[in-house]
Amino acid sequence: MTIVNTKVLIPNKSYHDFSEATRFGELIYLTAGKISILSIGRMYRTFMPVIQSSSKEDYILVSGPSVMTSILCSMFSIKHGVLNLLIYQIGGDNKGHYKQRRISFEELTQDETCPETQLD
């Protein structure tokens, strides 16, 4: 069953088979091939149009260079106040499946100041 009108944002198209993630939405590859992990400004500019057109229900598939995933997740969570991840996990049957995980950052985006944390 495919979730209607959602997108699965994939930081980099690589040799992996991402087809199992299509049940969560349309696969959108943000980059392809080798990308310099130090070109974070370029990543930001490349991701910007996709993030601007994304919805709060879209997913980020955790894959590729960690810096790319970090920037993409940061941009998505700033825009939407939530983060929807698809994480690949090998099960007891030795088959891999994507697991959905969602976290809300609404407490951080409220205007109230956060309570101070006392450290021992």
Question: What is the structure's pLDDT at 105?
Answer: 87
Q: β-strand 26-29 against 7-10: which pairing, if any? A: parallel
Residues of the chain falling short of pLDDT 70: 1-4, 109-120
User: Can you give the residue ranges of every domain in the chain?
Assistant: 7-109
Query: Side chain identity at 80, as an amino acid letter?
Result: H
Q: What is the dihedral of CA 16, 69, 32, 76, to 10 degrees?
A: 120
Question: What is the structure's pLDDT at 28?
Answer: 97
- pTM, whole model, 2 decimals? 0.83
